[in-house]
Amino acid sequence: MAATPPWTLSGRTVFVTGAARGIGAEVSRRLAARGARVALVDLEADVLEAVAADCPGAVTFVADVTDPAALQAAVDGTVGELGGIDVVFANAGIAPMGMVRSMDPAAFERTIDINLLGVWRTVHACLPHVIERRGYVLDVASVAAIAHLPGMAAYAATKAGVEAFTNALRGEVRHLGVDVGCAYFSWIDTPMVRGADADPVGAAMRGKLKGPMARTYTVAEAAEAVVEGIEHRSPRVLTPAWLRAFFPLRHAVQKLTDLQARAIAPEADRLFAEQIDRRGAAAASAPVGEGGAAAMAGRAE
């Protein structure tokens, strides 16, 4: 982490998207345990309320990051109930599996709408309040912003976009007293990653990965890294630890990824074609995990 002295979280207000499950839920619990007041934003009201029960003083908002009006209402509600926003943790995201030439275009575009444009909408709505408090923005990218695997083009493209957006934003608001960070995670034991492991394409891809990229890491590791990143207003949050060593060598990482992709792509392509034949392109391209299902259900409504 950065050498900046820890920033006291007690009494700070943190706006968290994707708060119902996985990293977002655990980060919210840990922030609350440090005395922060959290505004929890997600699509699943019942699950969100269960997280809020572990976060004293939390407020919840059911909102889709693809809906600017609903997102703005959540921001306005947070400011109205908690007095302002010190930190925004733009964490909502989905991950479809599929090959570019055959996946459902709607699934690809939905991923961009949530993962990239959703981050933009979240930050844009919160930023005036964060500037007012000279606070901190943390956007979630991924190791997929660095290493681009076949079968995950939609996800990788959005996470690379989040990284670029975040780096540009950092330069825009530094003189206003706002710090901006980008979080990079490898495979974390979240519902989304478990969904990827249950998907034929995802399982084939993961089964051929070697070294640290093949491992799954705990939500606790990722969440603690995020909380420490917020406390230090870090420009980058990387977990697991090996990502910190690999980050300066990112171009070499992609070359190694390309070598592994040679073994992954043919089988992933075949399996995805089989899934399309069996289930149709839309179902085969659907985002994995419970959160992904909720995102698509929200779209249908």
pLDDT, tens digit, 9 for 90 and up, residues 3-27? 466 899 999 999 999 999 999 999 9
Asked, for residue 177, whether it belongs to a domain, the answer is yes
- pLDDT of 300 > 50? The answer is no
**pLDDT, tens digit (0-9, with 9 covering 90-100), for 157-167:** 999 999 999 99
The residue from 136, 155, 184, 217 that is catalytic is: 155
C-alpha closest to that of 186 among 220, 218, 153, 138: 218
Task: Answer yes or no: is pLDDT of 265 > 90.
Answer: no
- CA proximity to 271, closest of 151, 187, 191: 151
Domain total for the chain? 1
Asked if the model's pLDDT at residue 42 lies above 60, the reply is: yes
Over residues 86-98, the mean pLDDT reads 95
- What per-residue confidence (pLDDT) applies to 215? 80
Per-residue pLDDT tens for 266-291? 777 677 678 878 888 788 778 766 65
Q: Is residue 293 one of the residues assigned to a domain?
A: yes
DSSP state of 8: P
Query: Is the confidence at residue 155, as pLDDT, over 60?
Result: yes
Q: Is 109 among the domain residues?
A: yes
Please indicate, yes or no, if residue 286 is contained in any of the structural domains: yes
Q: 107-119: per-residue pLDDT in tens?
A: 999 999 999 999 9
Spatial distance between the Cα atoms of 76 and 159, rounded to a whole number of angstroms:
27
Residues whose CB is less than 8 angstroms from the CB of residue 75 and which lie 6 or more positions away in sequence, other chains included: 15, 85, 125, 126, 129
Active site residue 155: yes
Backbone angles phi, psi at 261, to 5 degrees: -65, -30
- Is 3 within a domain? no
CATH number of 215's domain: 3.40.50.720
Q: Are 276 and 222 in contact (CB under 8 A)?
A: no
Is the model's pLDDT at 249 over the cut of 80? no
Q: Is residue 226 part of a domain?
A: yes
More confident residue, 207 or 271: 271
Residue 23 sits in which domain range?
Answer: 13-300
Give the per-residue pLDDT at 279: 84
Q: Reply yes or no on whether the pLDDT at 210 is more than 80.
A: no
* Residue 8 within any structural domain of the chain: no
Residues 6+ positions from 89 with CB-CB distance below 8 Å: 14, 15, 16, 17, 24, 27, 138, 140, 226, 230
213 vs 43: CA distance, rounded Å: 30
